[in-house]
Chains A and B, each alone.
Chain A
Amino acid sequence: MEKKVTKDDLFWMFVRSNFLLGSFNFERMQAIGFCVSMIPILKRVYTGDDLKAALRRHLEFFNTQPFVAAAIMGIIGAMEEKKANGADISEATLSGVKVGLIGPLAGVGDPIFWGTLRPVLAALGAGVALTGSLIGPMIFFIGFNAIRLATHWYGVQYGYEKGTALVENIGGNQMHFLTEGASVLGLLVMGALVAKWTSVNMPLVISEYTNSAGEHVVTTLQSILDSLMPSIVPLLMTFACMFLLKKGVNALTVIVGLFAIGIIGYAVGLMA
């Protein structure tokens, strides 16, 4: 009799995929979480020694962006179903597909979700939150989770439907276009944020005089900078941080360094 994965199995796989990172560890990272997400399908199609072997192979190293991981679970689920029905799919093939998808999907998922979607929604929500309005956290939480849950749900469904075919789709130009387009959007917004949502004030007095009309004119470092290019200081700081982070300096070290600049800048009267 043919063994068939049910809609229920896919639903529970979707639910479990939300806990992928629960047991993240330094040795095999998301391995237990991946195995736990596969269990509804594995229990459906295997028994006895076959089930033991399947559990073992899905406790292998696994680590990718957690939302796109749902698509990998769907694909592997489809392959396991075929294997249980006698298809000639070796353990090596299954591992190969799994590991092969980790990189490219993380490469797409990281810039889209961590690099663009979350910072943009979080910055939007945080901006409203500064006024003390509950709408701020809601924008971020509801907006992000709606997209996240849809990615999990359709990832499992699409992955399972397409099975091995999806592997070929990802090789095409479409994913590349999506990644580049998302980066363009993300970078433009990031450029705007550097100018809009930072504040540097340098009230260091450069010159002070009373003009012919009897008005007292004070020229500060900030007013000179503003007449040349407002927000130039945050821009240069951003580049300095990019450079340091690329050099492998720990982000917390950079943050501590910026705090030191703030304290020293305030102490010597350069900043306020």
Chain B
Amino acid sequence: MTIILLFIVAAITGMASVLDEAQFHRPVVACTMTGAVLGDMTTGIILGGTLEMMALGWMNVGAAMAPDAALASVVSTILVIVGHQSIGAGIALAVPLAAAGQVLTIFVRTITVFFQHLADKYAEEGSCRGIEMCHFAGLILQALRVAIPAIAIYLVAGTDTVNNALNSIPEVITRGLQVAGGFIVVVGYAMVINLMNAQKLMVYFFLGFLLAVFTDINLIGFGAIGAICAYFHIKGMQTEIHIDEVAASGGGGAKIEGDDIDDSELM
């Protein structure tokens, strides 16, 4: 029974991983579901939260592909709960698993090129059903590429060989990985910041950093401050555009207003 449920959960995360819609593949959701199926949801949630922090910046942008959170989440949860590993060990294992998952999805995305050409053939015949089948065949392959390895590891996770192998990792490695776990998230932050790619906006990044270092404002507070900053920033941009327009038209004379509301007050 557990195997069937685990297969379903792993298949869902595999599909979500390529779709990137409902986010079942994100560690905080995937580890929770896997934990629930394996009978220890709390451990799943904590592991998921820890992994999520690390994976914040794993995203599919343009043609770039994120490390695979689906396989990493499901398999590391199996190893922690069924294989009785520590959460630290689970996190350490997640990185190579994410890389392995990425290789598997690259494999599937290459195979799907074949379905693309099959779909062309169905278009020639005017067969909508055929194109739909090509589409969902690709999706099913993505489901299997997580579900099959997950079941395989579930079946051996409890046995001594895997446990012994995991326990033979020296302490300096496991403790060191835990230390690294404290700051590995900076990679995610860096990816997000690079994505926004706005040198002139970095001043807001430093503002957030300084406020966090020297005050006790919580994240909701930061959201509110950020919204206010965004408001004034846009206001400033509008003013710039307005001044440019006045300057360009040349007919504004000495009259330079901040915005439309000030217009009526000055008149």
Contacts and interface: CB of A to CB of B under 8 A. Distances in A.
A133 interface: yes
Interface in B183-234: 183-196, 198, 201-202, 204-213, 217, 219, 222-223, 225-227, 229-231, 233-234
B28 A140 contact: yes
Contact of B46 (A118, A132, A181, A252): A132
B148 to A, nearest CB: 18
B186 A252 contact: no
Interface in A192-246: 192-201, 229-231, 233-235, 237-239, 241-242, 244-246
A183 B196 contact: yes
Given A189-B208, A195-B213, A252-B98, A267 B46 contact: no
A261 to B, nearest CB: 7
A25 B41 CA distance: 35
Contact of A130 (B50, B92, B184): B50
A18 B19 contact: yes
B156 interface: no
Interface residues on A, range: 35 or more
- Specify which of A32, A114, A125, A188 lies most central, judged by the most chain B CB atoms within 10 Å of its CB: A188
Given A32-B116, A140-B28, A258-B180, A119 B188 contact: yes
A187 B195 contact: no
Given A114-B195, A245-B191, A55 B109 contact: no
Contacts of A195: 208-209, 212-213
Interface string A112-123: 001110111011
Nearest to A25: B112
Interface stretch (B77-85, B127-135, B160-168, B253-261): B127-135
Contact of B112 (A23, A127, A200): A23
A122 B45 contact: no
Interface in A148-170: 148
A184 B204 contact: yes
B209 A25 contact: no
Interface string A83-108: 00000000000000000000000100
B124 A266 contact: no
A245 to B, nearest CB: 6
A22 interface: yes
A237 B119 contact: no
A170 B86 CA distance: 50
B53 interface: yes
Contacts of B233: 180-181, 184
A241 B32 contact: no
A125 B55 CA distance: 13
A122 B28 contact: yes
B3 interface: no
Candidate in A26, A106, A190 with the most chain B CB atoms within 10 angstroms: A190
Contacts of B112: 23-25
Name the residue in A29, A120, A124, A185 with the highest tally of chain B Cβ atoms < 10 Å from its Cβ: A185
A59 interface: yes
B138 to A, nearest CB: 3
A192 B208 contact: yes
Contact of A259 (B23, B138, B180, B225): B180
A123 B46 CA distance: 13
B62 interface: yes
> Which interface residue of A118, A126, A244, A245 has the most chain B CB atoms within 10 A?
A126
A195 B223 CA distance: 15
Contacts of A258: 180, 183-184, 186-187
The listed residue with most B CB atoms (<10 A of its CB), out of A43, A55, A128, A191, is A191
Interface in A21-66: 21-29, 31-33, 35-36, 39, 42-43, 48-49, 51-52, 55-56, 59, 63, 66
Contacts of B223: 120, 185, 189
Interface in B133-185: 134-139, 142, 172-173, 175-185
B109 A136 contact: no
A134 to B, nearest CB: 6
B186 A241 contact: yes
Nearest to A63: B63
A189 B209 CA distance: 8
10 contacts: A27-B116, A42-B128, A114-B195, A119-B57, A120-B223, A126-B27, A126-B28, A136-B48, A181-B233, A263-B173
